[in-house]
Structures are given as C-alpha cells and as structure tokens.
Amino acid sequence: MAKRYLIIGGAGFIGSHLADVLLAEGDEVRIFDSLEPQVHGPQPLWPSYLADDVDLIRGDIGDRSALEAALGGIDGVFHLAAAVGVGQSMYEIQRYTAINELGTAALLEILAQRPVERLVIASSMSVYGEGLYRTPAGAELSPPMRSPADYAARRWDPVTADGQPLAPLPTPEDTPLDPGSVYALGKYAQERMGLVVGQAYGFEVAALRLFNVFGPRQALSNPYTGVLAIFAARLQNGRAPMVFEDGAQRRDFVHVQDVARAFHLAMTTPAAAGSVFNVGSGESYSVAEVAELLAAAYGRPDLAPELTGKARLGDIRHCFADIGLARTVLGYQPAHSLRTSLDDLLAWVAQQQAEDHVAEATQELSRRGLVA
C-alpha cells in the first residue's frame, strides 16, 4: 500500500534523491524545506531537479505551526534538516544548536502528540570522533580526539598512551562515541532525542550515521559541504583542491543514490526500528588520493592537491564505515563506487556555476583560532 511521506530538508542534495526513490515506489511525497541560502543560493527558489508531483512547503523547522501543517496526513517522516559543517559549527554555535537540536525538539514535541508510524533521522559519522583503531598488540581502541598541541607539533595520527602507532579500522556502530565539534554533538542529540522520545510515545525511530556522501545535486558553492563538492568547485575555477594536514587522512565516500536507498530501507524494514546504522561504501580512500582522482577525471591532473600542513580543530584523522549491520538488518548493499561514479558528479558540476569560497572560509576559521 502506498504511503505518504514527509521529507524535512527534502529540497537538498540527499532529500531530493530520496524523493525520487519514494516516488518510484509509488508513494506520495511532501517536502518541507527552508531553502537555506548557504545551500540553495540567495534567491529562495525551489530547485528545478525536484519532481513535479512532489508537494512543496517552504518553512523553518523551528516554526511549529508550519511544521504541524506539513505533518498533516503523513505516515512517516524523514528528518534531514540540519545546519551542516564541522568548522562553521564551532563559531556559529547558537545557529547550529537552534537548527539541529531545538529544531529536532520542535518536531518531536509535535510527534509526541500526533505520532507517525516511523521517523528516520539523518545522523553523521562525526559522532564517532576518531573512530576505531588497532594497537600493535592487536587490541582495539577508540583514541581521544587530537589536541591543539598535537596539531601544533604536526602529530597527525593518533597513537597509544605510550606513543605506539595505531592502525585505523572500519568503525562499527558499537564504537564508543566522542563528538568533537558542535555539529557532531548536534547530530548525536538528534538521534538520541528521537530514539528516547519515540520509545516514550510509541512511534518507531531509526537513525542513519552517514559517511561522506557525494554525487549530483550537491551544493558546490557551500564551503562547508562535502569535500568532493568543495574540490570540484576549486577545479571548475582552475584551482587545485586544498587539503588539510598531510592529505593521508582516510574517509569513506558513499554515493547519494545508495544513501537514498538506505533511507527507504530504514523506513520500510520492520527490524530497523530502534536502531542506528552506518551508511557508507565500506571502502576508504585518503583525501589526497580522492583529490588526485577527481582532478584526473576533470581533465586537470596538473592541479595536484595543495597540502596546507594545517589542521582544523574538530576534524578527525581517520574514520570509515563498517556497514555489516546495515547489510544484515536492512539488506543495504552499495551499488556505486567512488572510482566509477566521479563522471556522474562531474556531469552535474559541468551544468553549474560554482563559486569557490574555500579560501575565505579558511581565513574565517583561522581568524577565530580554529586552524592550527
């Protein structure tokens, strides 16, 4: 039977692809979005890539009356609304908290009175902090976030308490959490608030910890968005990708269409209720390697990554996904790989006019003492 779903934050990158998946399944889709200028540009226009048969409502998640109206007749909710960006969250603390935490609280207060069948929340890999590692003796541990002293000494990789090297491992969901930024704290609050309130009021909740999502429709002019979009904006403007630290930090890059499918599975799989799942590709790449691959795909292998030798406070060194739980419970299986999907991203980039704001964003972080 067809369902009616609300996607909060659905006009953006991930939400629009999710809308396409839901429509293909025969469901009805309503999108509630504030059309944030940092994401959508200065003119509050609905993106042309949104399907014609989606019901569109412009509103802020903190506006309770608008949100209540958007929830009318809805069977399930996908909560993707968030202010995104580790660095920016460290100085726009009130705005990030208002959107990510208080906005979620507003949603949950309404659902406590008017429950839906299920709420699926977009969380983030950032909640893990440094992720999981193995010691030389074979033990597994989660090291603390690196300190300003580590950055100043250019000690990029976490080590054991006695200075032994650590080998990064795929990070599963039961890894101890260590949110190292205001953004990470907000994402953890979103998932935990949802699970706690849902259990208390009898509606189902699941959360997805997203790793580095990439693909078409990603905002290219937002210097706090995904790293591949930032690199693409630099390349389109004839500039080398700017890479912090030494470029050896490892990440998991997952295609947006795989992520959209994971959200659908989290909504429709009975066993998903009450759980949190990693959504990644299950593969890891160094950031410098990704910059080189993208430059080559763009036809500019001469634009080698610019290694800054500096770090942004709150950034993690290595974190990539163990997706075994999502595979087992949701039946999630990534269908795209980074190497075979870069042309897909670049075809989107070719249709856009990207403004490169990376340098000014980095200057702002430096001015506030957030780059070491």
Catalytic residues: 183
- Collapsing DSSP to helix, strand or coil, 117 comes out as coil
Q: Are 298 and 233 in contact (CB under 8 A)?
A: no
Position of tokens 């990789």?
157
Q: How far is CA 66 from CA 54, 110, 118, in A?
A: 17, 11, 20
DSSP sequence for 94-108 = HHHHIIIIIHHHHHH
Cα 285–38–284 angle (5° rounding)? 10
Question: Is 137:283 a contact under the CB 8 Å cutoff?
Answer: no
Record the tokens describing residue 49, joined without a space: 């890539």
Residue with tokens 């929340």: 121
> In the chain, what is the greatest distance between 2 CA atoms, to the nearest angstrom?
60
The CA-based angle 308-337-165, given to 5 degrees, is: 50
Strand 118-124, strand 28-33: pairing = unpaired
Residue 171 DSSP class: B
Of 252, 206, 208, 260, nearest in space to 227 by CA: 252
- Give helix 338-350 / helix 227-236 axis angle, nearest 10°: 50
Per DSSP bridges, beta strands 76-79 and 242-243 are unpaired
Q: Are 99 and 62 in contact (CB under 8 A)?
A: yes
Pairing of strands 204-210, 118-124: parallel
Numbers of helices and strands, H then E, in the chain: 14, 16
Nearest residue to 212 (alpha-carbon basis) of 236, 224, 232, 228:
228
